[in-house]
Amino acid sequence: MPDRQPSSSRRKFFAGAATVGAAAAAVATLPRMVPADAVVAEVARVAPEKGGGYYVSDHVKQYYKTTQL
């Protein structure tokens, strides 16, 4: 049985697909740039002297919503 070599167009297709996949992975891992206007700083809270620095933040409220039945 003679050895058949894949056509060069097939090789180019797979090389191109690998390149596109690698580029997509690189773009997905890049940090996202957020405009300075969109950044909202949360008010810094001072910890109480006797401990117990718990407060209900937006993150905690979201967690409570997910636990409701």
Where exactly are the structural domains of the chain?
7-32
Q: Which residues contact 53 (CB under 8 A, 6 or more apart)?
A: 45, 47
As a whole number, mean pLDDT of residues 41-68 equals 78
| Structure confidence at residue 56 as a pLDDT band (50, 70, 90) | confident
- The predicted model scores a pTM of 0.36
**What is the identity of the amino acid at 69?**
L
Residue 37 gets which letter from DSSP?
Answer: G
User: Above 80 in pLDDT, residue 9?
Assistant: yes
Non-local (6+) Cβ contacts of 47 within 8 A are 53
Q: Encoding tokens for residue 43?
A: 């008010």
Instruction: Answer for the pair 30, 38: CB distance below 8 angstroms, yes or no.
Output: no
What token pair was written down for 8? 């060069």
